[in-house]
Amino acid sequence: MDEGSGRSGPGAGQRGRGSRPPRLSTVAGGGLEFAVAILLGVFAGQWLDRRWGTSPWLVVIGAMLGAGAGFYKLYRDVVDSQRRPGADDASDDADRQ
């Protein structure tokens, strides 16, 4: 359907190569990397808080920095997986013939 018009048209519902959804393995691996990044930030913040006596501020900052780094890594993985032609592209082309 064309956006906003409510009608079907040529190319409606078709996706271009650049709008392919990311693979499940990319998203699942990214979720694990995201969790690890947050945990690293929290543990680093706890260690620094114990050394400098600034509890709980560096834990909070470490968790936020870890979350930001995890989001950025997940974003980069998804963008890269959409740009790079996957191995399943050849099998998709063969199925269409």
Question: Is the CB of residue 77 less than 8 Å from the CB of residue 26?
Answer: yes
Which tens digit of pLDDT belongs to each residue from 14-45? 455 556 676 777 667 888 899 999 999 999 99
For tokens 């998804």, what's the residue?
A: 78
Residue in 63, 65, 39, 61 with CA at minimum distance from that of residue 52:
61
Q: What percent of the chain has pLDDT over 70?
A: 62
Whole-model pTM: value is 0.61
Question: Is the CB of residue 37 less than 8 Å from the CB of residue 67?
Answer: yes
Q: Averaged over 54-66, what is the pLDDT? A: 95
